[in-house]
Chain A
Amino acid sequence: MNKQIKAIFAKEFYGYFRSISAYFIIGLYIALSLLSSFIFGNFFEIDNQSMISFFKYQPDILAVLIPGITMHLWADEYRSGTIEFILTQPIKYKDIVIGKYLAAASFSLLMLSTIIPQTIVVMLYNGINLSAVTSAFVSCLLITLSFCAIGELVSSISNKPMIAYLGSIFVIWSITMFAPDVLTESTELSALSFHENYQNLINGKIELSSVIYYISMAGAGLWATVAIISNRNKI
């Protein structure tokens, strides 16, 4: 990582902790994860060695919370006018995009790390299938990386953080909710289904195709963000 990316990363990452919103998002993530696991996931009624009740709702929770983490990335720069400052520094557009992305992804991973104590509690209470839980955790990690890139992309085309938030939720839900019904009807296209790939991973099957699927989604989001920032014609 070059020094310029590090500078952007540090500004954005530590920026999350300048307000209460960072703690609020992490608290909300823990609350929603526990609620979905114990209330909607019927934690006590099913065999939970793979923590299926916990991981089942993670895409939905992340789809709501990650846009809250990414919405400020570019929208705030446009809203406050600092876009003129940042884009007139001698730094490549792609380095700014990557620095911001790494900050959002790191904060999201910090949020995800709160899964670990819950996993330990379940392990002590019930015992766990370590490979299945690891696979599911990896899947959450991959989803997070792809959602962060989509969130940054939507933030780069809006000058209002709230619009960026709602827009990101819309785009993410379009991918996760709408696509599966269409795609899973065709065996060939099912490889493009978000849920098909997620199901593979939470069932303990870490397949290269699924990893490539999520990494490609993140890469496409970042590429599109760089293209938007580089080709904007009007500020």
Chain B
Amino acid sequence: MISIEKISKSFGAVSALQDISFKINYGEIVALLGPNGAGKTTLIRLMTGLLSPDAGKIKYDEEDISADRVKVLQKIGYIPENAPLYNEMTPYEFLKFTSDIWDIKEQIFSDRLEQLINKLELKTVMSRPIGDLSKGYRHRVAIAGALIHGPKILIMDEPSEGLDPNQKYGLRRFIKDFSTQGAVIISTHIMEDVDAIADRIVMINKGNLVADTTPMRLKYQMPERDLSSAFRRITENNK
């Protein structure tokens, strides 16, 4: 279980997150929703140990990421926004590099690589420089990199940004599959994604937690019965 406990974070005089608390169970797909600048990326960076909170704790199976970053990161696969990768490497070189950092044994690496190549349909691009790949393929390579060590938790920041409808469909199907064996947290402001895959919505606005509910409940709280209206009403009410 992932436990976010009274997290606060400021950058100078600007308060990015205030006293945020919620829990995520294995098997859940949680959409972290909020308008631009709400604090989603800050929360993701705190959850991946890139930033340290000013107050509060983030625990994975009772282990605090601030106390032992290296140990906790072994449970997480993280795909940052825009899937930044080393453009000069080929997907194979990137995945081998990632596997060496994780100290994965050669045989296990080969098996996982084969699985990921088949699942993410990467076979045709494995020897091409990443810099030459389309955005969709780059995303898939980043996903493969995040999964090469077999994590239990997948964290994705704006995963479908810039993908075409087919790529979005493939990504959603993949996230659904993954959630059967672990937890998925996606940060997004695309309601279509949330509606299609999320089991739960955690909404942040101006650094505050403003909703923690299911997509269905959120929809039916609004007369329009759709998520976009709910999003708009909640974030506008909190202005």
Contact = CB atoms under 8 A, between A and B. Distances in A.
Contacts of A82: 84-86
Nearest to A14: B93
Would you call the interface of chain A mostly helix, strand, loop, or mixed?
Answer: loop
A82 B89 CA distance: 13
A18 B145 contact: no
B100 A3 contact: yes
B50 A84 contact: yes
Contacts, number: 68
Given A80-B87, A81-B84, A87 B98 contact: no
Interface residues of B, number: 29
A10 B145 CA distance: 18
A90 B71 contact: yes
Given A85-B80, A233-B11, A90 B74 contact: yes
A87 B103 CA distance: 16
A1 interface: no
A85 B145 contact: yes
Interface string A51-93: 0000000000000000000000000000011101101111110
B70 interface: yes
B52 to A, nearest CB: 8
A88 B84 contact: no
Interface string A1-26: 00110111011000100110000000
A88 B70 contact: no
Nearest to A76: B86
A146 to B, nearest CB: 28
A84 B80 contact: yes
Contacts of B76: 88
Interface in B169-186: none
A182 interface: no
A1 to B, nearest CB: 12
B50 A91 contact: no
B101 A88 contact: no
A88 B48 contact: yes
Interface in B100-128: 100-103
Contacts of B51: 233-235
A98 B214 CA distance: 46
B78 A88 contact: yes
B49 interface: yes
A138 to B, nearest CB: 33
Contacts of A6: 100
A118 to B, nearest CB: 32
Interface of A: 3-4, 6-8, 10-11, 15, 18-19, 80-82, 84-85, 87-92, 233-235
Interface of B: 11, 45, 48-52, 69-71, 73-74, 76, 78, 80, 82, 84-89, 97-98, 100-103, 145
Given A91-B70, A92-B70, A234-B51, 11 more contacts: A4-B101, A7-B100, A81-B80, A82-B86, A88-B80, A89-B101, A90-B69, A90-B73, A233-B11, A235-B45, A235-B50
23 contacts: A4-B100, A7-B97, A8-B101, A10-B97, A11-B89, A11-B97, A81-B80, A82-B84, A82-B86, A84-B80, A85-B80, A85-B84, A87-B50, A88-B73, A88-B76, A88-B80, A89-B101, A90-B69, A90-B71, A90-B101, A90-B102, A233-B11, A233-B51
